[in-house]
Structure 1
Amino acid sequence: MEMLSLAILGLLIVISPGADFVLVLKNSVNQGRKAGVLTAIGVSLAIGVHISYSMLGVSYLISQNELVFSVVRYAGAAYLIYLGLASIFSASAELEPVAVGKKGINALHCLTQGFLCNVLNPKTMLFFFSIFTQVISSDTSNQHLALTYGLYMCVLHGLWFGTVATVFTSKTLQKHLLRIKKRLNQVCGAGLVTFGAVLAIKT
């Protein structure tokens, strides 16, 4: 598979709306730009984990072991549903401005949320494994190519979700977002619950 095709495929995967997008959006709107960017960094770090075990072939072993794969799948589903329900029940209609540099943000909490949201997603695991089986071979040069592509995906995730956090905390959008803050929280929460439910029931 040509590198250009892989690069385009990676871009399409990253910008496609999913649980990561919803979580970054939710944290950005509720806790400010810093929280959103930290969540984005957490997602990017999780991509590094997927890349590591894909290159080592561990994802193949997991995908072939129904029990292990089921544990990962249900853990990911439960975490998404938990995040979604927490967002729905804690949604506030108070019109507090979203601070670009809001203080009191728990950095580790935001990083952990982004990291777990992505690393517990078996779809992401299987995506990287399927791609890396096309890229990696016994040829050393292909190993370097795989590592380069992995770094590209890490950076791409960080840049894209960092941009989402920045855009949705801009002053231009703040006045519009504040009017629908509670509804947006509920929609994001419902989205996370839906992603989790689909992940749990999909075979």
Structure 2
Amino acid sequence: MELAGLALLGMLIVISPGADFVLVLKNSLNRGRLAGVWSAVGISLAITVHIAYSMLGISYLISQNEWLFNLVRYAGALYLIYLGLKGIFGAQRQSGGEPETTENGDGWRFLVQGFLCNLLNPKTMLFFLSVFSQVLSPEAESQHMALFYGVYMVVLHGIWFSMVAVLFTAPGLKTVLLGMKHRLNQACGAGLVIFGAMLGLKS
């Protein structure tokens, strides 16, 4: 597959709504722009892990080992459901006024949430496995191409989800969203629960 085609595929994967998008949106609405940006950083860091084990061939071994793959799948499903339920039941408490401000020292919590949300998603693992199976070959130059593509995906995730955090906390849109904050929190929480349930139930 040509690099341009892979770049386009990566862009489509990143911008398509999924659990990462819902998490960044929820954290941005509830705790402000900085929380969303930290979540985006965590997602980008998780991408580096996916790239590392894809290039080493470990993801292939995991995908061929049913019990290990299921362990990762169920762990990811449970984590998404946990985040979703937390958002649903915390919606009423967080429904009023401006979002709580996020101090610099609090950023690690949202970074960890973003990191685990992406890292524990086996769909992301299989995506990188399939992509790198196209990029990697015995030739040495393919290693450089794979590394370049990996850096591209890390940067792309960071930029896109940071843009989501900035956009949904922009003054004009923010005022409208704050009026619907309770419903949005419930919708985001329900979305995470649905993603988690689909992931856990999928055979």
User: One fold, TM greater than 0.5?
Assistant: yes
Q: What's 2:96 paired with?
A: 95
Q: Identity across aligned pairs (percent)?
A: 62
Q: What's 2:198 paired with?
A: 198
Aligned equivalents of 2:62, 2:176: Cα separation in 1: 45
Give the 4+ runs in structure 1 shifted more than 6 A: none
Per-residue deviation, residues 55-104 of structure 1 (Å, max 9, x unmatched): 000000000000000000000000000000000000036432247x6437
SS at match of 1:193: helix
Per-residue deviation, residues 92-145 of structure 1 (Å, max 9, x unmatched): 36432247x643762111000000000000000000000000000111100000
Aligned equivalents of 2:52, 2:103: Cα separation in 1: 34
Aligned amino acid, residue 187 of structure 1: A
Aligned amino acid, residue 149 of structure 1: Y
User: Is the 1:42–1:112 Cα contact (8 Å) retained in structure 2?
Assistant: yes
Aligned amino acid, residue 96 of structure 1: G
Per-residue deviation, residues 146-175 of structure 1 (Å, max 9, x unmatched): 000000000000000000000001101111
User: Is the 1:84–1:191 Cα contact (8 Å) retained in structure 2?
Assistant: yes
Q: Does residue 136 of structure 2 align to residue 136 of structure 1?
A: yes
User: Is the 1:63–1:126 Cα contact (8 Å) retained in structure 2?
Assistant: yes
User: Is the 1:25–1:165 Cα contact (8 Å) retained in structure 2?
Assistant: yes
Aligned equivalents of 1:173, 1:95: Cα separation in 2: 16
Aligned equivalents of 1:82, 1:185: Cα separation in 2: 14
Map residues 169-188 of structure 1 onto 2, 5 A cutoff. 169-188=169-188
111-120 vs 171-180, which deviates more?
171-180
Q: What's 2:19 paired with?
A: 19
Q: What's 1:71 paired with?
A: 71
User: Is the 1:31–1:105 Cα contact (8 Å) retained in structure 2?
Assistant: no
Q: What's 1:149 paired with?
A: 149
Q: 1:102 to 1:112 in 2, by over 3 A?
A: closer
Aligned equivalents of 1:183, 1:6: Cα separation in 2: 37
Between the two proteins, the alignment pairs up a number of residues equal to: 202
Aligned equivalents of 2:95, 2:68: Cα separation in 1: 43
List alignment gaps of at least 5 residues for structure 2: none
- When the two chains are superposed, the root-mean-square deviation of aligned CA atoms in Å is 1.2
Q: 1:104 to 1:138 in 2, by over 3 A?
A: closer
Aligned equivalents of 1:52, 1:103: Cα separation in 2: 31
Q: What's 2:83 paired with?
A: 83
Aligned amino acid, residue 46 of structure 2: A
